Amino acid sequence: MTLVLHYMNNRGCIVERFLDIVHVSDTTALSLKEAIESIFSKHGLRLSRLRGQGYDGASNMRGEFNGLKSLILKENEFAFYIHCFAHQLQLTLIAVAKNEDSVASLFQNVGCLLNVVGASYKRYDILTESQASRVAEALKNDELASGKGLNQEISLKRASDTRWGSHYGTLLNLIILFPSVIDVLENVGENGLNSEQRVEEQFLLQILQSFDFIFNLPLMRNVLGITNELSKSLERKDQDIVNAMDRQLQELNNRFTEINTKLLLCAACLNLSDSFSAFNKEKLIRLAHFYPLGFSAVDVMGLDSQLETYIIDMCSNPEFSGIKEIGQLTEKLVETKKNIVYPLVFLLAKLASILLVATTSVERTFSTMKIVKNLLRNPMGDNLMNDYLVTYIERDIFNNIDNETIIQWFQNMKSRRGQL
């Protein structure tokens, strides 16, 4: 299990940092919670200070009664849970698309196709050789451009409902490999080991060359291609909650709990576009009520007055005119000392900005683990692997540390016979 912290530093900047990776014996919600508490304890952190938690949509994470988010909420009701926006987008798009029978049939047939083509190395070799031959012929006839990074070998990858962009990538590769896929099916149809296998391949061949399949394949490629850009923007590490809310809330309403819907709608009122046109004092005061530990009854009354002055100041101050994201707003408030003038408004913006948008940093940590723990380093223990991951993932920090400082620190750890 990987743990990443999303917080605001003293300059008003939102920061995400890899904290730890820990081996868990099982993935039940209770075991994961115990692991998180252990990590927090090791680093001197407290669950009571948590103001948000975000995961993918797995049942052990989002379960209403026994999920990890529920167990943490029982101890800290202000650690509001946000389902990863990128996962939500993928799940919503696929769920909506599959409500249409012809689209559901398309994805079902693509799944069957992947099972058949990927059933053996022999079939994969036929696919690869056929595609290589077609590329070579196209290059010879000047139908394709040549150059570094062009015409790389591609394959058919299985789509996953919880892996954003995977359906789009699968359809894109299938369109490129379509003639070679037909070659594989024709080969198996002619040379299959038994009649059942040959009939299956011929049936698939008929489906792939039918009007419905040929029509729906590029159609869904275009639909998912449009939303793929949104998916990529949600993977950005610096994406903020307000920007994401403005682009997604309407389509994803049914995947939010009632409290999260209210929370995020209120947070969206901090949007800076069009000269703070989304500003709504009543909703922002309602947002403060979600955090009674930060806003007492007296503070809420003070916030009402501060918001009146704040919006006039922001709209008339040229220093804030070019700001587009809430992260930039909190930075500018600290830079101009406005966080001191409007402390309650700043606290509200801070709490809204640390709400999680996507679990991208966690996903990238697992990808990095495959680089660090390769065949040569496979026997390494969890502690050593964690140390490697920290220095690799947070290399922007470690690159700024002078080598001499590291040498001296290592030398002073204990007495050594030689000097570095």
Spatial distance between the Cα atoms of 349 and 63, rounded to a whole number of angstroms: 29
Paired strand residues for 17: 5
Looking at the chain, which residues constitute the CATH 3.30.420 domain(s)?
A: 1-84+357-420
Dihedral sign, Cα of residue 16, residue 22, residue 27, residue 30:
negative
pLDDT on residue 334: 93
| 270's tokens | 């901090």
Spatial distance between the Cα atoms of 342 and 297, rounded to a whole number of angstroms: 17
pLDDT on residue 248: 47
pLDDT on residue 245: 47
pLDDT on residue 339: 92
pLDDT on residue 161: 65
Mean per-residue pLDDT pooled into runs of 10, the chain (420 residues): 90 88 87 91 90 80 82 89 74 72 85 80 81 81 68 72 74 87 79 71 85 87 75 60 52 53 78 79 90 89 91 88 82 92 92 78 80 74 84 87 87 79
pTM: 0.57
Highest CATH level, class, for 1-84+357-420: alpha beta
> Cβ-count burial of 184 within 10 angstroms (0-12 exposed, 13-18 middle, 19+ buried)?
buried
83-131 pLDDT, tens digit per residue, is: 777 677 667 777 777 777 888 888 888 888 888 887 677 787 888 888 8
Spatial distance between the Cα atoms of 4 and 361, rounded to a whole number of angstroms: 7
pLDDT on residue 231: 65
pLDDT on residue 260: 64
Q: Which helix (H) or strand (E) holds 335?
A: helix 326-335
| 340's tokens | 């001191």
44-68 pLDDT, tens digit per residue, is: 999 898 988 888 767 788 777 788 9
| Helices vs. strands in the chain: H and E counts, helices first | 21, 4
Which residue type is seen at 361? S
pLDDT on residue 224: 79
Where do we find the tokens 């769920």? 95
Beta-strand ranges (E) seen in 23-156 are: 53-55, 81-83
Where do we find the tokens 């999680």? 356
What number of other Cβ atoms are within 10 A of residue 418's Cβ?
Answer: 5
pLDDT on residue 137: 81
